[in-house]
Chains A and B, each alone.
Chain A
Amino acid sequence: MKKPSYRTATLLVHQGKDRDPATGASVVPIYPASTYHHPGGVSGEYDYSRSGNPSREQVEEAIALLEGGVRGFAYATGMAAVGSALALLKSGDHLIAPEDLYGGSWRYISTVLPQQGIEASFVDTTDLSAIEAAIRPNTRGIFLETPSNPLFKITDLAAVAQLARAKGLLTLLDNTFMTPLLQKPLQLGIDVVIHSGTKFLGGHSDLMAGLITTADVELGKRLKYFQNAFGAVLSPFDCFLLSRGIKTLKLRLEAAQANAQILAERLQQHPAVAQVYYPGLEGFIGRKRHFAQASGAGAILSFELKELSGIKPLLQTVKLPIIAPSLGGVETILTHCWSMSHAAIPAATKRQLGIRETLVRISAGIEDVEDLWEDLAAGLGG
């Protein structure tokens, strides 16, 4: 089907190929085949499932369409996507990364990349001069997250992209928190966009997936080469499930975002809460910058309790949220970042970064917000 200028809500439902050309089936088939017949010894469009699979192409095309990229890539997990994107670097290169970063990405950049001869500097990417100061002769890339996880620091994407372009550096951004629905980094000049599809894109806490897209044809070729060579591809069944999740992304994210806004405002008024981190709050540092590059505040927020002694009762009392690492599901997820999502980061480093033991992250779900608040308020006491 040709895609005229459909609006996002329509693109989400119909994605790349929304009908099976052979049967007219309304959903692209799940192709479990590992290999494909070569009639008369001649290869057709597909050779081998790691190299190409019609079910995978559906989600790969979807993420490219949604982000405005030229091609997309699907991987078995978000970390497989991060690792595959960072394979654009080589031994001897240097990478700049944010100091406030998802623990898994931090672990990969600080422990795996050095083994490959790639050094990294962690800087406050909200400060352009800090980035500039960290650039070395061998710097090849800047890795970004905005809003950052879990402290919601906002990096000016257009400014960093401009700086990177001037210095000949590659920019890579993890857009998991926002999704292309709220933030389209390729349009701001970012080279490579990465997603943990496990989160909002999948949306049901029932699959693991990673996605990458780029607007640069040459980078696309290199990413394709590495995807095929390394082979951390997403399975056909999970491609189907991810594509299915994307169909309701707008409904889910808008509902979850509305809930997050209400929870953030009420938490801010709560006597047990010291601070709330959420770009949707008036007066939040970085709010103006965030809304200059994104169309919504998203569905995730963090808050700091005044007393460390309040954490245990909170985690023991709340009944509705799932207490777990991960985010972006239809169910509200509450994360104690210190011991869960950021457990991979040493305690001293966490303290230095401002990730305290009193910090709690909430990924708002789509439940009735009054049910959520009653539960949360009971957990906070008072």
Chain B
Amino acid sequence: MSQDKPQQALETRILQIGVGRDERTGAISYPIYPSATYRHPAVGESTGFDYTRSGNPTRQILEEGLATLEGGARGLTFGSGMAALTTLFLHFSSGDHVVVSEDLYGGTYRVLDQVFAKFGLSATYVDTSQTAAVAAAITPQTKALLVETPGNPLLGIADLQTLGELCRSRGLLFLVDNTFLTPLLQRPLEFGADVVIHSATKYLGGHSDLCAGVLVAREAALGERLYFLQNSTGAILPPQDCWLLIRSLKTLSLRMERHCATAIKVARWLKSHPKVTAVYYPGLEDHPGHQLSKQQTRGFGGMLSFRVESDELARAVLKKLQLISFAESLGGVESLMTLPAVQTHGDVPPAERERLGICESLLRLSVGIEAVDDIIADLEQALE
């Protein structure tokens, strides 16, 4: 019971994270260790834990569990998704260049554009669903490719296999933000990704009640380097939230199954609505990334976006929602809707937003686990 058994189903292994690992008591739920520091047995001796920024038993259980889920050598957890990304970007040096998905979370754009640009890390944004466009953006200074797939908010699908091969042949680090799908639906390390990034605030946490970020490195050496940065800069996840995230993972497979099952029904319903002009969901047969999604994922996830007739209607919908919350974030058990142009992607320059199609008639929906009929009924009355 105490050690991970790769022959067991991933669903079973998730439930074993931390179970019975407390040797003194056999406690089923692993303890929360709030201790900041640890008593040394003698000079030069350590229990394995010295100081909580450097290592904490509760965090260690979580980080090992996450590494298992993604199939990587090392997992690291941070105080937010952005803290995870920032720590990852600190791996690069002044003068380096990264190629990044243009259909991407606005916060990632903001930290690259307004923080890391000042430190001499430059970025080029491309449509990563077009492998040729990625190849064309590579310069001699390029050190990495950062991909979000499905993209945010337009749900474009990047070809992980091809991009992995491209990165390998050009000597680039391949970084994949797996927040939208989680390792249960997509395991980028199997396609050659070097690091997987998560905002665990979303599906991994799943209850809209914690902020956390994750990095999982495929190779131990890169994991060690990222651990060095985690320990040096210290944006760690506190023990209480580590415990809450372990708890969250226990229902991840059930939640993801339900998110997927409900999202496809909502997507189909929206598609048939006369005031909805477009629906972006990879599970729809006419989505340009549908076939590719089927090849590289075990499900299409719970995120979708849709366009309505006018900007005014989009605002009216947000105002009239009763069950669905008008809120940023995603991946919770409760359905959340946002206006990406104003909220999640407000820091992307207007011209760039316009070019990408993130206009004010576009709504993004994180489909929750409520009864699907209630979700659709709320959308129906809001679109009236």
Contacts and interface: CB of A to CB of B under 8 A. Distances in A.
Nearest to A332: B15
B19 A331 contact: yes
Given A330-B250, A331-B19, A366-B15, A320 B370 contact: no
B208 A27 contact: yes
A204 interface: yes
Interface string B337-356: 00000000000000000000
Contacts of B368: 13
Interface string A1-36: 110101111100110001100001011000000000
Interface string B360-384: 0000000011110110000000000
A13 to B, nearest CB: 5
Contacts of B327: 24, 26
B218 interface: no
A251 B334 CA distance: 14
B207 A27 contact: yes
Contact of B28 (A1, A7, A205, A366): A205
Interface string B193-231: 000000000000001110000000000000000000000
A206 B28 CA distance: 8
B258 A368 contact: no
A11 to B, nearest CB: 9
A247 interface: yes
A319 interface: yes
A371 B13 CA distance: 10
Contacts of A270: none
Contacts of B370: 6-7, 9-10, 13-14
Contact of B251 (A206, A324, A330): A330
A206 to B, nearest CB: 4
Nearest to A27: B209
Contact of B29 (A13, A19, A204, A368): A204
A14 B28 contact: no
A70 interface: no
Contacts of A255: 254
Q: Which of B257, B258, B374 has the most CB of A within 10 A?
A: B374
Given A14-B323, A320-B1, A329-B28, A371 B12 contact: yes
Contact of B11 (A18, A331, A368): A368
**Main SS of chain A's interface residues?**
loop
A381 B60 CA distance: 36
B8 A1 contact: no
B11 A1 contact: no
Contacts of B16: 320, 331
B325 A247 contact: no
A372 B16 CA distance: 13
A329 B369 CA distance: 20
B334 A26 contact: yes
A244 B12 contact: no
A199 interface: no
A57 B374 CA distance: 24
Contact of A13 (B251, B322, B369): B369
Nearest to A370: B9
A281 interface: no
B323 A367 contact: no
A368 B12 CA distance: 5
A252 interface: yes
A367 B10 CA distance: 9
Contact of A367 (B15, B20, B209): B15
A248 interface: yes
Interface string B14-31: 011001100000001100
A322 interface: yes
Contacts of B371: 6-10
B374 A6 contact: yes
A365 interface: yes
Q: Which of B11, B12, B208, B327 has the most CB of A within 10 A?
A: B12
Nearest to B262: A9
Nearest to B11: A368
Nearest to A368: B9
Nearest to A14: B334
B247 A204 contact: yes
A330 B327 CA distance: 30
Contacts of A322: 1, 19-20, 28
Contacts of A319: 1
B83 interface: no
A7 B373 contact: yes
B251 to A, nearest CB: 5
A204 B249 CA distance: 11
B334 to A, nearest CB: 5
A24 B327 CA distance: 9
A14 B332 CA distance: 12
A290 B16 CA distance: 33
B64 to A, nearest CB: 18
Nearest to B326: A24
Interface string A236-255: 00001000100110111001
Contacts of B59: none
Contact of A366 (B11, B209, B329): B11
B20 to A, nearest CB: 7
A331 B21 CA distance: 14
Interface of B: 1, 8-9, 11-12, 15-16, 19-20, 28-29, 207-209, 247, 250-251, 253-255, 257-258, 322-323, 325, 327, 329, 332-334, 336, 368-371, 373-374
23 contacts: A2-B322, A6-B371, A7-B370, A9-B370, A10-B323, A10-B374, A13-B333, A14-B370, A18-B334, A19-B325, A26-B327, A27-B207, A206-B28, A206-B247, A244-B207, A247-B333, A247-B369, A248-B251, A252-B251, A320-B16, A331-B15, A331-B28, A367-B9
Given A248-B333, A371-B9, 17 more contacts: A10-B370, A13-B369, A14-B334, A26-B329, A26-B334, A206-B247, A244-B207, A248-B255, A320-B12, A320-B16, A322-B28, A331-B16, A331-B19, A366-B11, A366-B250, A366-B253, A372-B12
Interface of A: 1-2, 4, 6-10, 13-14, 18-19, 24, 26-27, 204-206, 240, 244, 247-248, 250-252, 255, 319-320, 322, 324, 329-331, 365-368, 370-372
Q: Which 9 A-B pairs have the closest CB atoms?
A: A368-B9, A7-B371, A206-B29, A251-B254, A10-B370, A9-B371, A367-B12, A10-B374, A26-B208
